[in-house]
Amino acid sequence: MPTYNTHVSRTTTGSDPLVPEPLAADIIQEAPKASAALSLMKKTTLSAKTQRLPVLDVLPVAYWVSGDAGLKQTSTQAWKNVVLVVEELACIVPIPEAYLDDADVPLWNEVKPRIVEAVGNLIDSAVLWGINKPTTWGEAVFPGAGKSQHFVVQGTGVDLAQDVTKLGALMAQSGYTVNGFAAAPGSNWNLVGLRSAQGVPIYEPDLQGGSPGGSLYGYPMSEVNNGSWQSGATGAVFLMGDFTKSIIGIRSDISFKMFTEGVISDGSGVVQLNLMQQDAVAMRMTMRLAYATVNPVTIMEPGKNISTATARWPFGAILPVGATPPAASAINVIQAPPYPYTGTFAATAEAELAVENPQESAAAEAQRAFHEEQTKAVRPRRSRGSADD
């Protein structure tokens, strides 16, 4: 029987055994997102684990003098400490050497950007929302906005832009100047969609530019696209305020180190991976930083200090429709030792400060010894037969 329908052809399912399928060297993925907090807040370099920031807490008061011979009254000005305490974040990514050899893409070049993105997510979650925030750090931006009652529920104004202006006016009445915004993903597009009663666009970015927006009322607006933004009834639409009042202290920037020997253990000390024995390579990332909001007193609210229940706060929030307004409560500020820290932080902090300032430490020790000797010298002696004997 004649055969006319047979031929050598490509396998239609799966991979053909004779025709290779090259893998693209570039993995299709989203561009890693940076930290909004690091881009908006003030940054400084720290030289020790702790650093004190003197913050203006009490303003002087002037008085009218009664008559030509009236007595002039006195006034004062006071400061309180806000403390930056450095904490460390880290992660380890192990990869078997065989997998590294066989991979068609440079794996470490793909891993590093994603680690940086994870760092941004962790930092923003802590300083903006208070999620997994170290206990040695002060109040986060969003919880502080609720506790200080600096918020407006979306829909209070005729549109989102007016909600922002109402919150800006509320904060100005407390003496705070808005100079930046952290926004939910897609906020730029929501603003572009705003129209006047005549259908004219209200928010008009450059149509030939890149992504829309980038600023609001002339101030920088950073969409938080690293997965840390909190939406819904317990989140926000916008966070806004004076970002120069929040400080992120960098003790050591992000650093990477490769290991081909060593072991990785769990919390119980059980070895989970032996790099040398199991032919693996591990990349370790570390970063050390601190966060605090300095929150100085304002002339508009001179009676509110750091310790009051409805303390001053340089940030506010636009809450989504349906959100439950938070109740006023005390702002958490790390002012002085002892810090809310478990373990032997106090001893290690003193040791580190002694290393950083050996001369100052020696002088302080000598002063303490002199004070003890003076105290012994002037201590009154008890007479025999006294009631204390």
Beta bridge partners of 246: 293
In a domain, 2, yes or no: no
In a domain, 128, yes or no: yes
Question: Looking up tokens 């000390």, which residue turns up?
Answer: 269
Nearest to 189 by CA among 153, 155, 225: 225
pLDDT (0 to 100) of residue 347 = 37
pLDDT (0 to 100) of residue 364 = 46
In a domain, 248, yes or no: yes
CATH number for 205: 3.30.2400.10
pLDDT (0 to 100) of residue 151 = 94
Residue 296 and residue 55: Cα distance in Å, rounded? 5
Mean pLDDT of the chain: 79
In a domain, 72, yes or no: no
Give the pLDDT confidence of 373-382 residue by residue, as tens digits.
Answer: 544 544 444 4
In a domain, 158, yes or no: yes
* % of the chain at pLDDT higher than 70: 73
Asked if residue 189 has pLDDT above 80, the reply is yes
Question: Looking up tokens 């253990």, which residue turns up?
Answer: 265
Asked if residue 339 has pLDDT above 70, the reply is no
51: its two tokens: 């650093």
pLDDT (0 to 100) of residue 344 = 38
pLDDT (0 to 100) of residue 34 = 80
Q: Is the peptide bond before 338 cis (omega within 30 degrees of 0)?
A: yes
| Domain hosting residue 126, numbered range | 36-59+78-331
* DSSP-derived 3-state class of residue 224: coil
In a domain, 374, yes or no: no
Poorest-pLDDT segment among 54-68, 213-227, 233-247, 254-268:
54-68
- DSSP class of residue 382? P
pLDDT confidence of 191, banded at 50, 70, 90? confident
pLDDT (0 to 100) of residue 343 = 39
Q: Which residues contact 146 (CB under 8 A, 6 or more apart)?
A: 317, 325, 326, 327
What domain count does the chain have? Answer: 1
Asked if residue 127 has pLDDT above 90, the reply is yes
> 289 near 250, Cβ under 8 Å?
yes
Residue 286 and residue 47: Cα distance in Å, rounded? 17
In a domain, 69, yes or no: no
Nearest to 249 by CA among 118, 137, 361: 137
Residue 183 and residue 223: Cα distance in Å, rounded? 5
pLDDT (0 to 100) of residue 14 = 63
In a domain, 287, yes or no: yes
Distances (CA, A) of 5 to 19, 145, 258: 22, 75, 58
Question: Model's pTM, two decimal places?
Answer: 0.76
